[in-house]
């Protein structure tokens, strides 16, 4: 094949051998969405030329024939690697099911030997051809897993370690391969390396998709730790048992082992291990509804709250508490509605993953969203399934992901309140009480550290604003520094200028959590107002003060305030009052210093002060000017902020003096 179009056409026909391929589909595969006007005539010419080429290679036999509105290429299984590969794969699976492991291993080996490079190597892949290539690569990977399983069952654990190491390097999220590698290493007497393999998998999963290893891998990890005799090389029916284990426990990334007699129900919930403190009332309320036969099936639980408040942790605990009521499977997906550095998943991406978890064949992720959603509803209708949608961006992202029928339950977490979706239970999370927050700190730092200095522990919790994420990080920091007294961390957190720097440990960071506000990405005016609000140390802000701060009209600023409330960067607690969490204010102040000129900051605060002053003069208890102006990093006298922030125009920065107070601005 000297011409690229001829190779492209031949590949498109051979991917569907002995089947009529519509001319319109061939045009789409060869030229994409914008084919030339001459595409149909060009296709006819390429087909005619390709016939002549093939006839010259096979004693005059053309192989390609016109059929209806398309073309068909006729080949025998022994003439096409993909057909032979499929035939050998089927034979190997049948051998496994009847227990003939040796024949299965030989058959799978022949199938793998047919591969001599990447799929469709040398062919420029269009969108449709890319989808076919992905499917073929997935089939190849499943056969490799089956081959490794058969060799493990035959006691050939030493020889599979190398190939498995290469496979997990190329496919680090493929849990079945990691299970096989851990098993091979353990049987080879390399227990330490088997345990290290588990930690490597966990690191990949947590960093890539924010999930813990699936139940099957965790169970194997515990068996390795316990030196379970059932893992030994002489254990009977090792191959079939391993396949059954993966299928029954069903991590989403393992694929569907061919040796399983029937597809297993997905079990994708993240681990429920770890501390869970407080939220007892919220948890009990949701469990009561889900456990009620009259309302449980078909329930929708919506959990919302600001960043770091513990929405995901509550959802996972709730899901595990009711999991026994959903024997047909549990689906889980982090939708990345507010994940740092990640765009929210599209409904199409999520539906493709869910359909693959439900063993729907031929899912590529390129399907029409409405069509995929309808198929998902069909596959879930009549089944008792639990679907957990974590970290949703908005209702538009969630709506296509709701299962069909009235027997499944959905748990959704989001920052914004999904009021346009019909929820059976709505849980609006706020900061826990001081007692629960101290309990969370003790769970991570150790209760003895808290008992040594309860006052310092209370101070840490206060400086964290009782935000669970911040308290958890503080506890992790104490655990990482066992010789620190709690008072030392409290002292380090006392500085507002460096507090966010202190609230970071490992992969947890309050600043990073707050920075993931996709709502602000769509509303630049709201983003600017958010930064400006960080300059004030007021416990509450009204719309007129916010408008003065931003230099905009009161009616106009309401749109930005509403956007900040939806992003949970502000809380609306009265008809015209808004409140910002202390750590959120520090983050907003950092943004203001980084993004706004010093003169703009000073002018904004000056406008807010003058807007606030009339109400302050009328009040019985007069606040000092320092309560109206946030501490400026590097400035120790808050009352001199307006002047010092704009030294080139001290007169312009002079604020009116209050009764009983000499103006120092």
- Give the best-scoring range by mean pLDDT among 189-198, 222-231, 255-264: 189-198
* Sheet containing 330-334: order of strands: 330-334, 386-392, 409-414, 300-304, 425-428
Length of the chain: 665
What is the phi/psi pair of residue 349, to 5°? -65, -45
Task: Select from 71, 83, 75, 76 the least CA-distant residue to 136.
Answer: 83
Query: Rounded to the nearest 10 degrees, how much is the dihedral formed by the CA atoms of 377, 378, 383, 387?
Result: -20
Res 288: pLDDT: 84
Percentage of residues of the chain with pLDDT beyond 90: 26
Count of C-beta atoms within a 10 Å radius of residue 228 = 14
pLDDT digits (tens, 9 = 90+) for 585-631: 999 999 899 888 988 888 888 888 888 665 544 443 334 444 444 44
Evaluate if residue 131 carries a pLDDT over 80: no
DSSP string for 392-442: E--HHHHGGGPPSSSS-EEEEEESS--TTS--SEEEE--PPPHHHHHHHHH
Per mean pLDDT, which range of 219-223, 258-262, 515-519 is the poorest? Answer: 258-262
Average pLDDT over residues 407-421: 92
Res 316: pLDDT: 93
Instruction: Report CA-CA distances (Å) from 660 to 37, 292, 493, 562, 610.
Output: 84, 63, 34, 37, 17
- pTM of this prediction? 0.56
DSSP H or E stretch at residue 572:
strand 571-572
More confident: 340 or 215: 215
Res 207: pLDDT: 82
Task: Select from 142, 155, 141, 140 the least CA-distant residue to 101.
Answer: 155
pLDDT digits (tens, 9 = 90+) for 47-68: 787 777 777 766 556 577 777 6
Assign 437 a pLDDT band (cuts: 50, 70, 90). very high
> Which residues touch 318 (CB under 8 Å, ≥6 apart)?
283, 286, 287, 290, 301, 411
Average pLDDT over residues 7-14: 71
Evaluate if residue 435 carries a pLDDT over 60: yes
Evaluate if residue 272 carries a pLDDT over 80: yes
Res 46: pLDDT: 80
Res 114: pLDDT: 82
Q: Are 254 and 248 in contact (CB under 8 A)?
A: no
- Tokens 């519509």, residue? 22
Assign 500 a pLDDT band (cuts: 50, 70, 90). very high
Assign 1 a pLDDT band (cuts: 50, 70, 90). very low
Evaluate if residue 382 carries a pLDDT over 70: yes
Res 237: pLDDT: 36
Evaluate if residue 90 carries a pLDDT over 60: yes
pLDDT digits (tens, 9 = 90+) for 284-325: 888 888 866 566 667 899 999 999 999 999 999 999 888 888
Task: Select from 447, 315, 495 the least CA-distant residue to 390.
Answer: 315
Res 614: pLDDT: 59
pLDDT digits (tens, 9 = 90+) for 201-253: 988 888 888 888 888 888 898 888 888 877 876 543 334 444 444 444 443 33
Percentage of residues of the chain with pLDDT beyond 70: 79
Assign 632 a pLDDT band (cuts: 50, 70, 90). very low
Instruction: Share the mean pLDDT of the chain.
Output: 79
Res 409: pLDDT: 92
Alpha-carbon span 110 to 147, nearest angstrom: 10
pLDDT digits (tens, 9 = 90+) for 561-597: 988 888 888 888 776 789 999 999 999 999 899 888 9
Res 643: pLDDT: 33
């Amino acid at each position: 094949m000297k011409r690229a179009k001829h190779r492209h056409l031949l590949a498109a026909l051979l991917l569907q051998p002995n089947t009529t391929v519509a001319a319109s589909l061939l045009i789409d595969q060869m030229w994409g969405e914008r084919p030339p006007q001459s595409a149909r005539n060009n296709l006819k010419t390429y087909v005619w030329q390709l016939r002549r080429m093939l006839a010259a290679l096979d004693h005059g036999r053309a192989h390609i024939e016109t059929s209806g509105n398309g073309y068909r290429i006729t080949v025998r299984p022994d003439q096409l690697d993909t057909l032979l590969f499929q035939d050998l794969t089927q034979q190997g699976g049948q051998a496994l099911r009847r227990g003939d492991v040796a024949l299965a291993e030989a058959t799978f080996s022949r199938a793998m030997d047919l591969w001599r490079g990447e799929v469709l190597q040398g062919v420029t892949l269009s969108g449709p051809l890319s989808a076919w290539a992905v499917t073929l690569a997935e089939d190849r990977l499943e056969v490799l897993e089956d081959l490794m399983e058969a060799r493990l069952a035959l006691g050939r654990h030493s020889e599979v370690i190398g190939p498995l190491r290469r496979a997990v390097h190329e496919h680090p999220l493929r849990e079945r391969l990691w299970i096989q590698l851990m098993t091979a290493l353990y049987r080879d007497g390399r227990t330490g390396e088997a345990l290290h393999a588990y930690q490597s998998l966990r690191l990949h999963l947590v960093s890539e998709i924010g999930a813990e290893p699936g139940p099957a891998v965790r169970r194997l990890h515990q068996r390795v730790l316990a030196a379970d005799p059932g893992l030994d090389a002489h254990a009977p029916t090792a191959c079939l048992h391993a396949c059954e284990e993966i299928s029954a426990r069903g991590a989403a990334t393992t694929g569907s082992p061919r040796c399983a007699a029937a597809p297993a129900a997905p079990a994708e919930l993240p681990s429920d291990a770890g501390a869970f403190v407080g939220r007892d009332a919220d948890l009990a309320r949701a469990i009561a509804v889900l456990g009620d036969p009259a309302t449980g099936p078909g329930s929708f639980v919506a959990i919302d709250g600001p960043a770091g408040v513990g929405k995901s942790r509550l959802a996972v605990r709730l899901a595990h508490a009711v999991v026994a009521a959903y024997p047909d499977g549990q689906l889980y997906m982090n939708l990345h509605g507010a994940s740092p550095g990640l765009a929210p998943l599209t409904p199409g991406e999520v539906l493709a993953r869910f359909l693959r978890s439900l063993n729907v064949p031929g899912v590529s992720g390129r399907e029409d969203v409405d069509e995929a959603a309808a198929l998902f509803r069909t596959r879930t209708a009549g089944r008792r399934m639990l679907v957990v949608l974590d970290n949703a961006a908005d209702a538009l992202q969630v709506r296509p992901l709701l299962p069909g029928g009235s027997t499944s339950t959905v748990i959704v977490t989001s920052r914004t309140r999904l009021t346009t979706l019909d929820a059976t239970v709505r849980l609006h999370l706020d900061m826990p009480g001081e007692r629960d927050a101290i309990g969370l700190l003790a769970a991570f730092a150790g209760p003895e550290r808290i008992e040594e200095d309860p006052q310092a522990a209370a101070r840490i919790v206060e400086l964290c604003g009782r935000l669970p994420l911040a308290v958890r990080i503080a506890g992790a920091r104490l655990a990482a520094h066992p010789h620190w007294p709690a008072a030392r961390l409290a002292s380090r957190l006392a500085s507002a200028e460096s507090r966010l720097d202190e609230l970071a440990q490992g992969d947890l960071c309050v600043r990073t959590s707050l920075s993931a506000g996709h709502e602000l990405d769509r509303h630049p005016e709201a983003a600017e107002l958010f930064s400006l609000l960080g300059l004030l140390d007021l416990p509450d802000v009204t719309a007129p003060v916010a408008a003065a701060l931003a230099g905009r009209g009161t009616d106009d600023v309401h749109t930005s305030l509403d956007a900040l409330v939806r992003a949970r960067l502000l809380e609306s607690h009265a008809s015209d009052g808004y409140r910002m969490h202390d750590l959120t204010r520090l983050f907003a102040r950092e943004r203001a210093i980084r993004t706004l000129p010093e003169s703009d900051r000073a002018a904004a605060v000056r406008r807010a002060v003058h807007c606030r002053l009339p109400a302050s003069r009328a009040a019985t208890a007069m606040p000092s000017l320092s309560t109206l102006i946030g501490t400026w990093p590097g400035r120790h006298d808050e009352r001199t902020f307006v002047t010092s922030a704009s030294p080139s125009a001290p007169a312009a920065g002079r604020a009116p003096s209050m009764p009983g107070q000499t103006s120092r601005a």
